[in-house]
Chains A and B, each alone.
Chain A
């Protein structure tokens, strides 16, 4: 019988899951040890198609710093992370950027976008302009 002990990474609680292959269950797997429903999904996914969120940066110009933090809008298959990094590392954006703005659409055909995880104003000395830029986001 196929079974695996794992730690759920959906939230910081880190439940210790036991996922067992099960013919009775509709999903094909039984999950134990989870404190919430998301643990079940995670456990099954980890057996069939493990996915991860990816957080990294892209090059940005015209901003007060040189990197813009970005993340995947959902999770992507674990084996694609390296390839995704290659694509993300080629991107260069220009300020201003708004939080949530799509930086790469549908990366590697996963249906998941790479989005900005903060707003970045144009490099400006004027506090008022910066404030205005923030409020637009």
Chain B
């Protein structure tokens, strides 16, 4: 019997699993998808928020500010790209100036450090590609950007190295109470566990309802984004928000940790938890918004669009608590924005809750908080590049021409713990296919490498989920 089973390998699930791996516990991390971070974690704004948005006194407010503080350390330990580039909330009229002032005051109440209100001139000095129509802004220096799936994958890998077990492709379909815990059906496995932590993102209500009476409902909210080529990645230097409105925190424009430009999201409640399609209207909306915020931008440089679903609830706050009906069953639900920012603090918070249910929680003496960094070949000095190629010639072979990713790096992310098994899995870890040509040139070669390393035929290689086959057979 496991001590703890974490359902959902997104950013909250992996943070919690890694926190748990510090202790003498038998922990299982289970997910329905074919890879880690395949839900909301792979499609969001990738922002570490400063913390001025959430209403004072809410869990969101508290865990946002705390989470923000924790980011440096964890990203250093796990070698995940994180940059504190600051964030701006722009005001374009008097009403928005007032909103910005309110956010500033709320930020003070929430304990957000290093904020200031900027006049037009100072805003344009920071961001000279913004529209001249801007009249002022809130500037929060602690705002940042991160690679969300890189972080979740690194957390999972670190958790695995410290003894956590991982089970992918295993949707939880049933749950029963048994003596001393729970028995869950995950894929074709029956799993017994003393404690369940439900981090199933937009499916947390479904999981909860398997064993408890419905106490909350997840309202999937669709956000659409456009991602631009690196050639326009420096259009803005910080995370640039428009003023929040009914439609959400406002459309933002920001560089990503890899130097692309990201714009979005929309905000729209959808019926279906599988509604991850982009829409003509949504993409038009964010493009129009972007046009009004910047002096100029060419949409020819968009390389891809995507949609993420936020797990909103009616309470508008995170729901992190032990079920009143089921001892040892914890819900970590409603983790919409600023969920990514709050995730490290959520993990801390959950551990405290769990401690009340486990006697004599012992720290693992040999816990290692560090992972081996991914190899970023192009970032190495020439002398080290040459050394690496000499040691392993596969580092001399560029597979992805847009991002200059070598075969050596691709093999490495396949071989690692919690390594890539799919085309998108390789892309999320080592980035081949995330450039201008979107895998047009490298996909066939990455598939070849995946097949070779896994000892399968290239036709077995999938894009992402188990059913996402790329090839349909041989030509003859």
Contacts and interface: CB of A to CB of B under 8 A. Distances in A.
Interface string B458-476: 0000000000000000011
A75 interface: no
Contacts of A67: 475
Interface string A56-100: 011100000001000000000000000000000100000000000
A20 B476 CA distance: 42
Nearest to A88: B476
Q: B interface, by DSSP: helix, strand, loop or mixed?
A: loop
Contacts of B476: 57-59, 89
A57 B475 CA distance: 9
Contacts of A59: 476
B252 to A, nearest CB: 46
A90 B126 CA distance: 67
B458 to A, nearest CB: 10
A59 B476 CA distance: 7
B472 to A, nearest CB: 16
A131 to B, nearest CB: 21
Interface in B417-476: 475-476
B23 to A, nearest CB: 52
A9 to B, nearest CB: 25
B459 to A, nearest CB: 12
Interface string A34-73: 0000000000000000000000011100000001000000
A89 B476 CA distance: 6
A94 to B, nearest CB: 16
B295 to A, nearest CB: 43
Contacts of A89: 476
Interface in B152-179: none
B334 to A, nearest CB: 52
Nearest to A57: B475
A91 B312 CA distance: 59
B461 to A, nearest CB: 16
A58 B475 CA distance: 9
A43 B475 CA distance: 34
A59 B475 CA distance: 9
A117 to B, nearest CB: 16
A10 B476 CA distance: 29
A57 B474 CA distance: 12
A59 B474 CA distance: 10
Nearest to B476: A89
A58 B474 CA distance: 12
Interface in A102-122: none
Contacts of A57: 475-476
Nearest to A90: B476
A55 to B, nearest CB: 13
B393 to A, nearest CB: 13
Interface string B214-228: 000000000000000
6 contacts: A57-B475, A57-B476, A58-B476, A59-B476, A67-B475, A89-B476
Interface of A: 57-59, 67, 89
Interface of B: 475-476
Q: 6 closest pairs, A vs B, by CB?
A: A89-B476, A59-B476, A57-B475, A67-B475, A57-B476, A58-B476
